[in-house]
Structure 1
Amino acid sequence: MVLVTQVPVAVAKAYSPGHITGFFSTPDPHISTTDPKFLGSMGAGFSINKGITSTVKVFSSNEKNYEIRLNGIPNFELKVSNFVVASYMQLIREPVYLSIEHESELPIGYGLGSSGSAALSLSYALNEALKTNLTKVQAAQIAHNGDIACRTGLGTVISEFTGGFELRLKVGGPGIGQVIKSELSTDWCVIVLCLEPIKTELWLDKSVTNENKHSLNLLGRKMVHDLYQNQNVGSFLEMSYQFAREYHLDEGKCQNPINLLQAEGIKASVALFGHTLFTLTERDKVRRIVKLLEQFKGQLLVCGVDNLGARLIRRND
């Protein structure tokens, strides 16, 4: 039986944006490192201003233990969050009981970076509440390591750590990977149509065993190079759609809405990985695009780009 005090000895809260990946390339097979900080992906995408807020309350206790809730409901299957908590439990000596609350604005499983967002915001909040004195980069690396270990993402955490419209030029987690960040103005809006969830690990496993993996990686690297030469939203959307077609993600549930938008001259693509259509557009075109997509069953989100990246938003001890 775990005995805890009724009043928390520390409280901390942190936020991480969600993220949409347009295309990516995994490491070369000859890379032999098992250190997850040096693993990940190159690619491009952008952070959105809907994400996950994590609140950590620390209680004195007679043994180490914790609970995690997602939108108020106990959830013991959040693999990456469990990984992050276990990492911090190893850093402290005193027994504590942690009450953890994830508040998500993101639909889970639709390619919007929810696992990375939960891990990153939780790591920042734990670092503050437990006074482990890690740097922001070190705290972000724990989240990245969890995303890699649980096969829920490759470049998500470093992207959400950075914020904005990002181009990942070198594989690795925060502090290791090389990222070019562009801040998009509030004139840009993100429109997302979530149609059906996908388990990211299944698609990552498919990409590893896919006989076309080599050609997909070559395509992803070429796109990184090409976008580096011409960093604009239109080029990114075109490349992302081309990459989604190679994965056949433009077929099935996303096919009809994408075809409709393209018939109207609107560039759109599919989030990696989810049956989720997205586009970046100027604010004055939002109403027209929303009206076109409202006929399809699914969850329609309109949001902006988060240029700040993950951050601590409350401390109290």
Structure 2
Amino acid sequence: MKKRARARAAAGLSGFFAPHIAGTLRETGAIGGGLGIDGAVKADIAVELGEKQEIVVRNVINGEELDSCIARYIVEKLFAEAGVPGGRVHIEQEIAVPIGGGYGTSGASALAIAYALSRALGLASTPDTVAEIAHEADIVCKTGLGTVVGIMQPCRGITLVAKPGGPGLALVKCIPLDQSLRAITAFYAPIPKNSILTSRIQLERVRKEGLAVLKSIEENPSPENFMEQCRSFAKKTGLITPRIERVLASLRSVEGVIGASMNMIGEAVFALVYADRVEDALAALSKTKPEWMHTWQPGSSGVVVE
């Protein structure tokens, strides 16, 4: 008999970050800040338990079967916690935002899979315990550092991870946003993290600038300053691309846009704009020929098990 469960997690669009590598996975993480896109990542899980010590994981993302390091790590961890020797796990995922565009899809996938599988196995684990496994998976599979803790915390505004680490260690803050503001984003192309963060000098520059940005935002937690600091981070770290520079220039010329910056890390942009000027901003973005655009009320409900 198959056991089933499903969960959905917010995507976590990142505007800045600073890595923090420690001696344990629990202490390792990142500070950073960004916007949640509610319910953007869904996982539908079917589990068939077996007697043999063999675990078969099938992960289908948007109709395409992929060999997922994150899925396998989480399944093996939760099977061990449940005392299950083996079985088959089928994971159907729907991801409504581009992968590789700085939308935190790996961390969101890890959370959705972990929460749904925990429910399917009937585990009595606390949310933090389940999220800890998702946090570990994101780090071990080299897909993220601080995304999980930022996503799991509900926030109707700007999410700030002010202290790094896993669930229970990280400090997550929420900067409320006026209801008249909307977020828009446009995606152009993915940027593999391992293609740009390749030197210690660059990583140290990112760390230094990320910490400076966090300090500035905490001193002045306004949406205008958040967007300005994110743009400064993109420029000072050298992560911004020429195409994104041009897109941001066109966005900043639109009345009602209070700030725009680059997603971390992806060739994509995001902006905060007053609701009555969204169409003007989208029209400006359309001229830059993005692969995908989206507008939404910023905020996240964290992870919801259905």
The TM-score normalised by the length of structure 1 is 0.88
Alignment of 1:1-317 (within 5 A): 7-8=1-2, 10-27=3-20, 31=22, 33=23, 35-63=24-52, 64-76=55-67, 78-94=68-84, 95-164=86-155, 165-184=158-177, 186-203=179-196, 205-206=197-198, 209-264=199-254, 266=257, 267-298=259-290, 299-312=292-305, 314=306
SS in 1 for 2:82: coil
Aligned-partner Cα distance in 2 for 1:273–1:211: 18
Aligned-partner Cα distance in 2 for 1:54–1:289: 32
CA RMSD of aligned residues (A): 1.9
SS in 1 for 2:142: coil
Pairwise CA distance, 1:139: 0.7
Asked if the contact 1:123–1:142 (Cα under 8 Å) also holds between the matched residues in 2, the reply is yes
SS in 1 for 2:4: strand
The verdict on how the C-alpha distance between 1:270 and 1:122 changes in structure 2, with shifts beyond 3 A counting, is: same
The verdict on how the C-alpha distance between 1:50 and 1:194 changes in structure 2, with shifts beyond 3 A counting, is: farther
Aligned-partner Cα distance in 1 for 2:273–2:69: 34
Q: Which AA in structure 1 matches 2:10?
A: P
Q: Write the deviation string for residues 267-294 of structure 1: whole angstroms up to 9, x where unpaired.
A: 2100100000111222112111001111
SS in 2 for 1:268: strand
Asked if the contact 2:209–2:237 (Cα under 8 Å) also holds between the matched residues in 1, the reply is no
Pairwise CA distance, 1:213: 3.6
SS in 2 for 1:37: coil
Pairwise CA distance, 1:210: 4.2
Asked if the contact 2:17–2:210 (Cα under 8 Å) also holds between the matched residues in 1, the reply is yes
Pairwise CA distance, 1:241: 0.3
Q: Which AA in structure 2 matches 1:83?
A: Y
Asked if the contact 1:261–1:268 (Cα under 8 Å) also holds between the matched residues in 2, the reply is yes
Aligned-partner Cα distance in 1 for 2:34–2:280: 24
The verdict on how the C-alpha distance between 1:289 and 1:50 changes in structure 2, with shifts beyond 3 A counting, is: farther
Gaps of 5+ in 2: none
Asked if the contact 2:209–2:236 (Cα under 8 Å) also holds between the matched residues in 1, the reply is no
Pairwise CA distance, 1:50: 5.0
Bigger shift: residues 136-145 or 185-194? 185-194
Aligned-partner Cα distance in 1 for 2:238–2:102: 15
Aligned-partner Cα distance in 2 for 1:202–1:159: 24
The TM-score normalised by the length of structure 2 is 0.91
Q: Which AA in structure 1 matches 2:273?
A: T
Pairwise CA distance, 1:74: 1.7
Asked if the contact 2:151–2:300 (Cα under 8 Å) also holds between the matched residues in 1, the reply is no
Pairwise CA distance, 1:121: 0.5
Q: Which AA in structure 2 matches 1:25?
A: A
Asked if the contact 2:241–2:267 (Cα under 8 Å) also holds between the matched residues in 1, the reply is no
Aligned-partner Cα distance in 1 for 2:269–2:95: 20
Identity of matched residues, %: 24
Asked if the contact 2:153–2:302 (Cα under 8 Å) also holds between the matched residues in 1, the reply is yes
The verdict on how the C-alpha distance between 1:184 and 1:82 changes in structure 2, with shifts beyond 3 A counting, is: farther
Q: Which AA in structure 2 matches 1:79?
A: C
Q: Which AA in structure 2 matches 1:272?
A: M
SS in 1 for 2:10: strand
Aligned length: 298
SS in 2 for 1:198: coil
Aligned-partner Cα distance in 2 for 1:159–1:135: 17
Pairwise CA distance, 1:309: 1.1
Aligned-partner Cα distance in 2 for 1:306–1:178: 18
Bigger shift: residues 159-168 or 136-145? 159-168
The structure whose residues are more often strand, as a share, is: 2
Q: Write the deviation string for residues 231-271 of structure 1: whole angstroms up to 9, x where unpaired.
A: 11110100000000123333322122111112336321001
Q: Which AA in structure 1 matches 2:172?
A: V
Aligned-partner Cα distance in 1 for 2:83–2:39: 35
